Chain A
Amino acid sequence: MGTVILLALTGLGLAALYFLVASGLSLVFGLADVLNFAHGLFLGVGAYGTWWAAGNLPGAGPDGFGFVFAVAFGVAAGTLVAILVELVLIRPLYSRTIEQVLVTVGLSLAGVALLQATWGADARPFPRPDWTRQVTGILGAQVPNGGLLLIIAAVLVLGAILAFLRWTRYGLVIRAGVENREMVTALGIDVRKAFTLVFAIGGAAAALAGALGGVYFGTVSPGQGGSLLIFAFIVVVIGGMGSVVGSAYAAVVVGLVQQFVNYYGTSGLGDICVVGLLAVVLLLRPQGIAGKVATA
């Protein structure tokens, strides 16, 4: 029983990480039709920003309030990079989708290489607070606190994004833009501001995933973003493109399947099962769990 609960909670921790990356991807995709390959870079910037701040910034550190400050710095850095990417690289290619995707591909190659050039290819130990190394006893299972922190953060982010989409003016613009961008533009609403906003939200969530993922894994390396990104893509497709709630459901399913199969089967089998799950979902429901039926 204890093992099952432990696996479920660590699986949910992984799901939280996937959700943080996938929510931004899904929103950006839904509104702008851009598959953002540079999303892993935002994650890397968040992780390295937090790592750098904890070591170098006055007032920040691996413990207590200093850690909150370090994470805030990492998230701010990731958000800033995301906004810059949108303004400098994506916006000039407005509505030329394929070129936008290509630019993010180039950026993902160059950005990871730049991280590697600056801080080396090897994984660095991440400054995590002492209490995240400890475990909490839940129903007989000893659950690492780092995973619980991720779950709480993901639930808060999900709530914040849903509240933002439901009750604010820009949330309304984004929701309408996901439904039908041409119509929103025709009504005289500037969708470009919403693009920047969506990139900023996605960048912030990804950077938070980078910072908390550093706590979860204990290390930070340039390639971390890329490997998480592929599972985030899977989550986005299974959940239905453009749907944040769908991403949340899919992230939970993917995280749990991966964790349980990796434990009870061979290591690595869980990752393959996830892709198998993707194939099954596509065969039964090509538009994803929460996706709308395609009209074309």
Chain B
Amino acid sequence: MTLLDVTPAPAPTAPRPGRVHRVRPFLPLVALVVLAILPYSTISLPGIFEGPVNSPGTLQLLAICLIFGGLAAGYDLLFGRTGMLSFGHALYFAAGVYGTDVLITRAGLPLWQAALLTVTGGTILAALLGAVALRTVGIAFAMVTLAFAQVGAILVARDFGGLTGGEEGLPLDVSGLPAGLVGVTNTVNLYWLALAYLTLVVFVVHRVSGSPTGRVLAGLRDDERRIGVLGLDPYRYKLVAFTLAGGLASAGGVVYVLIVGGASPHITSSELTLSLLVMVVLGGPGTRWGPVLGGVLYMYLDHRLTAFGTSDAVDNLPAVLSRPLSQPLFVLGTVFILAVYFFPGGLTSLAPRLSHLTRSLRPRP
């Protein structure tokens, strides 16, 4: 009995000869270049962003979206590619955020030392906790990782030793940071940093899943017992994936704390881990770009729905409608449930489905 029958990614459609097919491998590169030069544009997209694209507010929102795109891609290494349902991934992200913040603000370390120590610490933490949690499989594993993440939330909220600032959070002390990363006018540098993080995660995840190790991980997802029969140790491979994903998440936390300028306790909540799962499933688990798209879209919607919920258009609706719509999580949760029913492969499964639809609608010769 396998508890984690993750829906396999939809089979890639047969390569079609033609111009689109020849350009396709370069599309990610094109997207990267477009994203990199985006801050130079002054286009306003009313309704999509509040100000012009190069305004600090929009750039910060975009940077947060990119971070979560990267986080979701890292989480997919566990969920979509290895079939491990971890509910504690937010812990390693929070370790990155709070680790950097505490080391800079309380210990006064320079940024590079704090970042290095934090990522190392986050990776070791993931290895230790993973070693215990991986003694269970399936749903029990999910519960155990959730319990570990809860300890992080308690530690942060109870403010042991006055390190984390408790409920108020801990604003980042910017006096020791490099000048290029401080201030509203330098948001563009943070945006590029976020883009670099996303690129790094995507690169690592794709390299790992393309390697022999990645094939073992995919084998674990499909049938763990068969990997054991082949003479490979499932535990060891799962621990490697868990540690790597934890390290990537803590690196994301380092960039996030710079962008937001502080740590707040809500990033330790179990809600954030559940959100990561929602992002991956919305985008398409185990697919090349799905988790990134899901992460970016989820964070964008989460921010914009708050603005949408307090807008006049929603306020003028009857209370029965306007109250639930003012809660971003209600909208996102509902969208997620509908997605599980109607788009099991996530956003990335829409393209083949739509092409199937247009083909069947086309007049027959």
Interface residues of A (CB under 8 A from B): 29, 33, 35, 37, 89, 92-93, 96-99, 101-103, 105-114, 116-118, 226, 230, 233-234, 236-237, 241, 266-268, 271-272, 275, 278-279, 282-283, 286, 296
Chain B residues with CB under 8 Å of A275's CB are 147-148, 150-151
Known: A111-B333, A286-B135. Is A33-B144 also a contact (CB below 8 A)?
no
A110 to B7, CA, bound (A): 24
Assess whether B277 is interfacial by the CB under 8 Å rule.
yes
Are A106 and B5 in contact, with the CB atoms below 8 A? no
Assess whether B303 is interfacial by the CB under 8 Å rule.
no
Q: Can you offer 20 A-B residue contacts whose CB atoms are under 8 A?
A: A29-B139, A33-B3, A35-B142, A89-B337, A97-B5, A101-B139, A102-B277, A106-B340, A107-B337, A109-B330, A110-B330, A111-B333, A112-B329, A117-B326, A230-B146, A272-B154, A278-B147, A279-B132, A282-B136, A286-B135
A101 to B3, CA, bound (A): 11
Are A118 and B323 in contact, with the CB atoms below 8 A? yes
Assess whether B227 is interfacial by the CB under 8 Å rule.
no
Are B158 and A268 in contact, with the CB atoms below 8 A? yes
Known: A98-B85, A110-B337, A237-B140. Is A105-B277 also a contact (CB below 8 A)?
yes
Known: A105-B274, A116-B327. Is A230-B147 also a contact (CB below 8 A)?
yes
Q: How large is the interface on B (under 10, 10 to 19, 20 to 34, 35 or more residues)?
A: 35 or more
Q: Of the candidates B3, B148, B333, which one forms a contact with A106 in the assembled complex, judged by CB atoms under 8 Å apart? A: B333
A133 to B46, CA, bound (A): 56
Q: Of the candidates A98, A106, A268, which one forms a contact with B154 in the assembled complex, judged by CB atoms under 8 Å apart? A: A268
Q: Which residue of A lies closest to B133 (CB)?
A: A282
Assess whether B26 is interfacial by the CB under 8 Å rule.
no
Known: A106-B337, A233-B143. Is A117-B327 also a contact (CB below 8 A)?
yes
Are A98 and B330 in contact, with the CB atoms below 8 A? no
Most chain A beta-carbon contacts within 10 A, residue among B155, B157, B333, B336: B333
Q: How far is the CB of B303 from chain A (nearest CB, A)?
A: 16
Are B146 and A92 in contact, with the CB atoms below 8 A? no
Are B324 and A99 in contact, with the CB atoms below 8 A? no
Chain B residues with CB under 8 Å of A37's CB are 274
Known: A109-B278, A110-B334, A267-B158. Is A272-B5 also a contact (CB below 8 A)?
no
A272 to B151, CA, bound (A): 6
Chain A residues with CB under 8 Å of B136's CB are 237, 282, 286
Q: Of the candidates B139, B147, B324, B329, which one forms a contact with A35 in the assembled complex, judged by CB atoms under 8 Å apart? A: B139
Are B337 and A103 in contact, with the CB atoms below 8 A? yes
Chain B residues with CB under 8 Å of A234's CB are 143, 147
Q: Which residue of A lies closest to B325 (CB)?
A: A117
Q: Which 8 A-B pairs have the closest CB atoms?
A: A110-B333, A268-B158, A109-B333, A113-B330, A106-B336, A113-B327, A113-B329, A106-B337
